[in-house]
Every structure is written in C-alpha cells, then in structure tokens.
Amino acid sequence: MERSVYFDGWHKGNFCQHPSLPMRSLHMLDDLERLGATMLVWAGLGGGSISLPFLHHEAFGETDVRQQMFGYMNDSQFIAECNRRGIKLFSIVFEVQGWEFPAVIDKKTGRITAINKLAEGQEEQDWYGLREFSQDKYPNAFPTSLKDYYPDGIINSDGEVVTDLFEESAARRLDGTPVHAQWVEMKNHQQICYQTCRNNPVWRDYLKQIIKIMIDAGTPGIQLDEAELPITSIGSGGCFCKDCMKQFTQYVQEQKAAGKLGAEWDSVDVSTFNYKDYLLEHHPSFPHGAPFYRDYWEFQVRAVKRYFSELVDYAKDYARSEYDREVLVSGNFFNLMPCYFPIVPKVDVIITEMEHTQFRQPHFYRYCEGYAQGREVAVAENPYGGMVPDLVNMLNNGKAYDLYRIFLLEASMYGCNMSVPYGGWMGNTIRDAFWPPLDLSAQVQQFLKNNEHYYPRSSQGDICVLYSYKSYYWRETAQGSGGANAMQQFTDLKDITATGWTGDHRRTPFWEVIKTLSDHQVIYDVAMMADGDLREDDFTLEDIARYPMVVLPDCDKLTDSQAAVLLDYASSGGKVVAHGRLAEGTDLLNQLQATGNLIHTQEADSFEAAMANFSQGLLPAYEPLRSVTVSDKNLGVHRFTNEKGTYIHLMNYDYDQAQDKVLPTGAVTVSVKAKGKASVNTLEGAVSDFTVTEQADGLDITLPSVPVYLVIAVEKEG
Ligand SMILES: [Zn+2]
C-alpha cells in the first residue's frame, strides 16, 4: 500500500507561489520518515512552466551557502535522498500553466536581480518567463538558455518560427483572448499565468523537454498535472486556438466519412468547416448551449488520450534509453471525471485531486478504487468546495483532531490512500498552507504502516456495482467539466459533516445508488464497463462471475457484448439488480427476467423516492449475502479479506462540535461470516475487552465501545 504525502511544502502563513515550489531541506526527510511516506505527489521541479533554464536551475542549481547551513539543497539532491530512503518523488509537470513574472535584470551581467513581488514597481522592471526564454532575451539569466534546448529554434504547426512561446501556447477563447489559469494567479499582483494547449505541437514538445530534465534529475515518478488540458479551459470559454480548430475540422471530416455525424450536421459543409468561425456567426458564446458542443468535447477526450499517451510514452522511452530505468507516470485525475477514463491504462498509479473534500464519503472512495482497476489511488484534498479551510483553521487552534483522523483514515479504509498534507495548497486567496500537526499525522500513518496487512488489495466485496461509461460519461460531463467546478464553496461545517451529500443537487443514479449502499453498510466493489469507443470494451464474464450479485444503476446504454455478458451471468445463477433503465431499445430486461434472476427497481422524481424503491428491491436479496452485520447502523464499515484472514474496519462519524470530538458508541456487536482468532486494534493500540461468540457461520464480536476507528482482525490460526 502506498502512503502518499501531498508535498507542496508551501510556507505556513503565506500564499502559495506557483509554479516553483519552495526549496527542500534535510529536515523534511526526517518528517517524511516519521510519516512512513512511500510516495510524494506535487512534489518538486514545477518551474518548467516559467522556462526550461529556470527548471534546470531548480534541478541542478547551486545552493547558496547560507541556505546550506539549514540543510537546503537543490531538487536533484533531494530526489537522491528520497531514492535512498525508498520514497518515490513524483515531479510535477504543470501542463496547463504558462508563466510570466515581473523581473529586474542586471544590464551588465544579464542576471536576474529581482523577480516576482520583489521586482514589482521597480523602475527597471521587465519580465521573465516563457516569452523571454523563447526570444533568448536574457541568455545569461541562468547557466542554460534557448540554444541548449532548441538549437534550430522553435517551429510551430504552420512552419513559422515561434518568437513568443507564451502567446503561441496559450489556450484561446472565441474572441482570440488567452484563457488565464485563475486558480494560481495571485490576486493584486502582476504575474500572469495563461492556460496552455497541449494540442499545439509546440507546447507538447516543450512539455517533453520538461520531462527530460526531470528524468535527468533522477526523478522516479512524473505527475502530469491538469492532465485533461485543454478541456481545463472549456469552463472559461476555451479552447479555440489554431491547433484545436485544425484538429477539430479534421476530426469532423473523419466522422463524416465514417457516417458517425448526427443529423444536425447535415446542413454543414465539413470541407470548409471551422468551429470558431461557425460559432462567431451562429452562436457567439461557449460552452453553454453551443451547437456541436458534445462533438467538440468527444474530440477533445480523444485528443487527451492521444497526447497524454504521447507524453507518457516519451517519458518511459527516454528513461529506458538514456538511463536503463523505469520511470513511473501518473497524472492529476481531478475528481476522477469521465474524461480521464480512457487514459487509465497509461498510468502506474492514480493521483486524484478531489472536487469536494468532506468528512463522510465512503462511496467516493469505493468508486475511485474501482475506477483505478487495480492501481493504487493517492487522493489529495482540495481547498475549494469542502471542509478543508474550516479544518485548517480548527487544527491551527488545536481542535478537530478526530475530524482530521477521519479525513486521513477514511480513504485507506475503503481501498485508497489520502495524501498527508505537507504544506498543502490552500488556493490563491487564503494566506496559509495546510500543515496539520505532525504528531497527529504520524500517529495515523504509522498505524497504516505497521498494519499494512489489514488492507489487502486482492480483496473482494459481497456484491459489485457496474459503472457504465457509455451511459454516464456525457451525463456526468454535462453537469460541468474542468477545474471551474472546484470553485463551489460550502460555508457551514455542519452542512459538510452531516452526510457529505448534496442529494438532489446531483441527480445521477449511479452516485445515488452507491451512496445508498454505503448507508446500508453494504460491502461492495465498483467495476467499470467501457463504451467500446473512447475506450476499448474489455468487459467479460470473468470480471463479475465471482460475485453472487451485480447492481446496474440506470444503465440506459450498454454495448452488445456487455448485454451478452450480463445475460450469461444471470443464466448461470448470478442475481442482476437493475435500477431504472437498462440497455434501452433492446430486449435485455425481458431476457434477464426470463432467467428468474432479475430484480428491477424504478427510478423516481426525487433522490429519496428513487432510493426507497431501490432499497426495497435490493435488501431482501442482499441480506443473505451480507458478510458483516453491525448492530450500530451509523458506523461506516468495510471488509477486506485475503488468504490469511478477514479484516473489518469500523469508522465512527459521530462528531460532536461542542465537545470537539467523536463520541464513543455504546456496545456494538459485529457479526462476521469468518472464523479464526479475533483481535481488535485501534489507533491507541490493541484492545482486549471484547467478547467473541461462535455462531454456525462465523463469529459475533461484541465491543464495549467503538472509538473513531478500529479494525477487527479474524485470522486463520497456525
Ligand atoms: Zn487549443
């Protein structure tokens, strides 16, 4: 199991300062060892979005002797120290960021004498960033310069020499203006960050140069942040750059030739079609209500798959050919949105920044675990749209320790891993970084390290919920896409802690069903079914044959092959619970009915009514399959099982704000269908005041009380 750290290292009590991360020092390594860290995310070498010489300086630059006194070092030295300790540092490629900073350059030496806030307003103020790099305006600013990376200059897709990389790479709106990366630009300061477009080959080539420097610096892992670019820019009206337009036209022409365009295209001459010109003439705003938006989005998802894959392949090939080593690659799979699903097979580990971080979201973690398809999942909190600002304030005041324990443990308990904030990002308006008390983090992380066998990855739930990508990718996307979603804010801690659910706000049957299963303490897995188009459909009977029951939440579209698999499954005795629609326009429901193994429940106008229908249909059939029954219905429960034993995890969410702690429960009995020697472990250590009663099919274990979290292990003897 990976134990991840969200290793921004932004300074306590100060603003973040993208894209270059603070210098790393020796004492951080001690902290990482206390945290039992195995991987670091958003962890170093971010400055390539300013210029390649700047990044080279981060990697290999000399450290001022005064800073060395305190153990500071450059990033390649820090990476080497991490490697020695078995900690995998993922260098961060801020793919969608292109920067310009205020700077003062000494006329005689050509060196930078002031940058960013220190340079603002000075008489000699100039700029330093992608533009000056591409113009080779200050070749002496750093030991390397343009000619070291582009001996023949930078050439774009029109065959022109690029004289301004900052403008060349920008994602653009309909009116041609560049899209800003508003979430990282500091308010009331002059630095500028454009969103960039990876569909532009110039930018892709530049990203490869960043990756090359990272691998030269010895990085064991590469994290491609904002992996969905330029979909990132859609919420802000992008991207209509020249390369997106050229490529979309080509895509539309190919779709036309393949007979795949809808009737709405009939009146359009695709041989001369240009989406930007078309919208300017017919619907001069984007994306809301724009014609052909879905075609455009599907084009962009294909582009994400193609170009993300190109960068991954480049990184792997370069590390193999130059250094004969394997480099790990991941991205930022923000909230595990549907646009990333086609690129899952390309990564070694899933790193996801959440959209909303709340205190009770077991269903989200079960979804993540299924989405990752056997890969480890490192989750990072998000300062927007959740409880993080409140939590940080409370921790700063010595409060909310139990809430923080839940925050760290819940992901692990449900099959993922929460990255420990270590100077975690607090957005660009809060003047602070997330530095939870180290002792508190270490208590949890050491528990996870010492009891790794409680979280076996080969485990299997009682039943399986199927996510139909074909049914859901557009439904989920149409509700909003890209980083813009993250700007929603909850303001009241009570709303955030109550259920962690926005209910009818998000009428998506899949999410309603898994939330309801978690509320009923059902032990379930999630499995993904691809659409056969954006991602190859490799779903087979083998994926579900081992489960006695599968649940299909409103899967209105299935591939023919998926329908056949489900029919095979039901014909050989598997129970199919279909909630709402199923493979509309086919006879599948009737065919499943004929097997005698279908339970069909109805959708309804409200979340409550729909889930009442669903629960009524599901529970009578589920109860005989239930492997763990807990007498206290408010506890969170999950079970892992492997050949050595069964591990039941209980989470107590009963946080009392007045007392600022989770209230211990009364006596709780856990009935488990497993036999062996029982032991109980809490964050405080093993406990022995529990009783065990043997039943015909397992054990009843009675605990006098359940604290924030505990694990019951039932292990085979001998
Ligand atoms: Zn573009």
Residue 439 in 3-state DSSP?
helix
Residues with Cβ within 8 Å of residue 547, at least 6 apart in sequence: 460, 461, 462, 463, 464, 525, 574
What spacing in Å lies between the alpha carbon of 224 and ligand 1's midpoint?
18
Residue 348 in 3-state DSSP?
coil
Which helix (H) or strand (E) is 710 found in, with range? strand 709-715
Beta-bridged to residue 699, according to DSSP, are 672, 694
How many Cα atoms sit within 13 Å of 686 on the Cβ side?
A: 6
What spacing in Å lies between the alpha carbon of 81 and ligand 1's midpoint?
39
pLDDT tens readout for residues 304-329: 999 999 999 999 999 999 999 999 99
What's the angle, vertex CA 207, arms to CA 307 and CA 46, rounded to 5? Answer: 125
Instruction: Report which of 437, 446, 429, 364 is spatially closest to residue 398, judged by C-alpha positions.
Output: 437
Residue 454 in 3-state DSSP?
helix
What spacing in Å lies between the alpha carbon of 172 and ligand 1's midpoint?
7
State phi, psi for 168 to the nearest 5 degrees. -60, -40
Q: What's the pLDDT score for residue 292?
A: 96
- Provide Rg for the chain, Cα atoms: 27
Longest dimension (CA), the chain: 87
* CATH class of this structure's domain 628-715: mainly beta
pLDDT tens readout for residues 469-488: 999 999 888 765 333 233 23
What spacing in Å lies between the alpha carbon of 364 and ligand 1's midpoint?
31
Q: Measured between alpha carbons, how far is 620 from 229 in angstroms, rounded to an integer?
A: 46
Confidence of residue 123 (pLDDT cuts 50, 70, 90): very high
List Cα–Cα distances, 228 to 95, 197, 199, 224, 414, in angstroms: 9, 10, 11, 9, 26
Q: Measured between alpha carbons, how far is 582 from 544 in angstroms, rounded to an integer?
A: 17
Q: What's the pLDDT score for residue 48?
A: 98
What spacing in Å lies between the alpha carbon of 197 and ligand 1's midpoint?
5
Beta-bridged to residue 173, according to DSSP, are 238
In this prediction, what percent of the chain has a pLDDT beyond 70?
Answer: 96
Which helix (H) or strand (E) is 408 found in, with range? helix 401-413
Residue 453 in 3-state DSSP?
helix
Work out the average pLDDT over 220-228. 97
What spacing in Å lies between the alpha carbon of 288 and ligand 1's midpoint?
18
17 neighbors 97 (Cβ within 8 angstroms): no
> DSSP secondary-structure letter at 403?
H
List Cα–Cα distances, 348 to 277, 328, 343, in angstroms: 41, 6, 11
pLDDT tens readout for residues 35-77: 999 999 999 999 999 999 999 999 999 999 999 999 999 999 9
- Dihedral sign of CA atoms 608, 614, 617, 618 in order: negative
Strand order in the sheet with 575-582: 524-529, 463-468, 549-555, 575-582, 598-601
What spacing in Å lies between the alpha carbon of 243 and ligand 1's midpoint?
6
Q: How many CB atoms lie within 10 A of CB 60?
A: 16
426 neighbors 433 (Cβ within 8 angstroms): yes
* Secondary structure (DSSP) of 304-317: HHHHHHHHHHHHHH
What spacing in Å lies between the alpha carbon of 238 and ligand 1's midpoint?
7
What spacing in Å lies between the alpha carbon of 230 and ligand 1's midpoint?
6
Query: Mean pLDDT across the chain, nearest whole number?
Result: 94
Locate 86 and state its tokens: 């078995």
pLDDT tens readout for residues 281-294: 999 999 988 999 99
Q: Give the fold, CATH level 3, of 463-625.
A: Rossmann fold (3.40.50)
State phi, psi for 445 to the nearest 5 degrees. -65, -35
What spacing in Å lies between the alpha carbon of 696 and ligand 1's midpoint?
64
Q: Where are the domains of the chain?
A: 463-625, 628-715
96 neighbors 253 (Cβ within 8 angstroms): no
Confidence of residue 361 (pLDDT cuts 50, 70, 90): confident
Q: How many CB atoms lie within 10 A of CB 491?
A: 8
* Mutual angle of helices 438-450 and 26-34, in 10-degree steps: 50
Q: Where are the beta strands (DSSP E) in 206-331?
A: 221-225, 328-331
